[in-house]
Structure 1
Amino acid sequence: MEEVQALVVGAGPAGLMAAEAIADSGVPVIVTEAKPSIGRKFLMAGKSGLNLTKDEDPETFLDAYGPAAPRLAPMLAEFGPRAVCEWAEALGQPVFTGTSGRVFPVAMKASPLLRAWAARLAGKGVTLRTRWRWRGWEGGVAVFDTPDGVRQVKAARTVLALGGASWARLGSDGAWAPWLEAAGVGLAPFAPANAGLVVEWSAPMARHFGAPVKGIALSAGDVRSRGECVVSARGLEGSGVYAICRPVREGAALTLDLLPDWTLEKVAERLARPRGRQSMGNHLRKALRLDPVSQALLMEFARPLPEAPEALARVVKALPVRHAGLRPLDEAISTAGGVLWSSVDAGLALTALPGVHVAGEMLDWEAPTGGYLLTACLATGRWAGRAAAGR
């Protein structure tokens, strides 16, 4: 059995940030990773442009985390959007802010940042062990399946950063949940977050598969999103849909506002103009300037359309969306659920397991895409690492 001063299990952003925080305190740290390489989900996120964080005022930024905002607030106050930008630039990756406020590295990739980060960690004495799959504890000793057989590690302090339960092929498989539950840790069930909606389309919608739906607003419960979405063969996907996952998952009805910048009165007035011998499609196109995909959605979800202008206007402004729920858990970008906040102390240490801290998506929080996910993973990892090191 090997005895170490500090152990971090999981080499995603939260785990690497925890390891760096521990190393900065002068404590030697070992990081284990089940996959052959580090940061696989991080690299996947960077394939379409790595969205590091969001440039907006702190209060608005914090609101994106919903019910978990009060618990995350102190961590994001110490390592929020500005700190993320400074962190990336210190690793030789300058950043820029897009028109939507999203912040990206100029390189638009995750790999250069990850390579620089790994080099800096190695320079601080962080030891990385890949293909080490954690199998829980035996008598307070961490057990791993490794290329050299079963290994046991007894650590004075441990940070678990094993991710949630989505994209299992990248390492976040949620296999840790039964081990923590058996140890008396309270868990909320995993559920998909930032996931597409399942819609069973009628045959005419096939011609619109792949088409973006722009200039709309989506509403569910207390959440309203102005993001875009895409019509796919399986349903609706994209940032606009991801933003309303929580209320939809909780049972709230979903509606689309096809003309969010127009008042209900303006829509009704336009629809009341003489239609003549025009088809309804042409009338909608000319009176409301609805594009083909928006018209198709209107027909899909509200046929037969009301004839009265006022009634039709109400449908245009709040189009009910029939759907079969969110895509399966493993197809979600992230997950809700995990370790309950009531199961950790102020330093993210598990009250049932003294000396063991948790970080990242293992905790029960969620946020939409747009830089919020990565920022909170980094912030919680740093917070847990500093607490584990006694800082």
Structure 2
Amino acid sequence: MSEKNTSGEQDAIDDFVYSYFKQDYSHNPQQIQDDEQGYINALVEDVSKDIGSNTGKLGIALDFLLVAEQLAQYDTWVSGFNPEINKSDILERFDTKDTKTLTFLIENEQVGIRPVHNKVIDLFRSDLKRTNFPSSPGHHTGDWESYDEMLVTSFRLSRRGRYEAVERLIDLGLARLDAKSFESRDPPFPQPFSNILKNYERKDDNEQAGSAYQAMAYGYVKAEWPHLSIRADKLRVGSSRQHRYGDIDGYVGPDPMLSIEVKDKKIDLSNVDRELGTIKELAENSTAITIAMCKEVTEEAIKDLEDSNVRVVTDEILEAELERWDYHKQNTAVQGMIHFFANIEQNPSAVQRLLRFIKDIDPENVALVHLDE
């Protein structure tokens, strides 16, 4: 086979070829006579000149070769090179089934080109990703009588000749048919919000304690519920004074749809009511989605919150969720964080600290135009 084939392509080709040629068959093209090589060359050239306009011809040529090889397993008449064979010899030697496609009957078995052609289609379209190989077997196998010369050549060739022809025809298909490509990005898109969640320092002397986590929560809400109007305020401004329900609320029109309480700390049974009692009460008396977003929550505290209809998002839960977010959704969350620091918390120092971090993990991020060099 061609040295240009990938290892995956070669494995698929080997599996296909040796399903027709016995596994113990050892191919040596040097043992093919010049006369027989001439027939092989003519067959490959005939397929090659038409492959652009009649790709199905490649499939039919392989069909004939592999059916002849299947019959050679039963009848040695087809085993050696015999340039005297003609079409009438073939049809007189083997019984055929009265069908539109060519099907031979031998020792109570049916050997036909249609099953072979189906496997040829699978080889090229599925295994070798040549999706421009025709997928209509009936159209080509039903027209087999238009290719008498290829049929006769396939039966004239020896086993070595058929193997050589099959190899060369498959290589021809690989070379002339375009492989289906899958668009990929190199380097791949970064995962900025995941990186911030796992690696961003949440404490800084120039920032209110907990503001970085609050900004993360705000970014999370902006990305996860883009249809909601989001309301939040600076830290140290109580939600009740601002007529809010939680630290971050989401609305559709006048209707509260979402309320999140944010705690950058571990929550357990000893502090769950003190820290999250308000959100529990809201969950029990409101139709809004209520969420406790916390650094860590013990299993017992999670159960207590869920019994009050409060959903829990921890760092661990969020990290797993972010694995399903593409770059653009993650970047929406990042832009939400920047907006929170710049326009809600109104802390330019916090904005710059976050932008410096983003520069290292996502150097093409559009927000970096605001980074002070």
Which TM-score applies when normalising by structure 2? Answer: 0.23
Structure exhibiting the larger radius of gyration computed from Cα positions: 2
Larger strand proportion of the pair: 1
Structure with more relative contact order (C-alpha pairs < 8 Å, separation 6 or more):
1
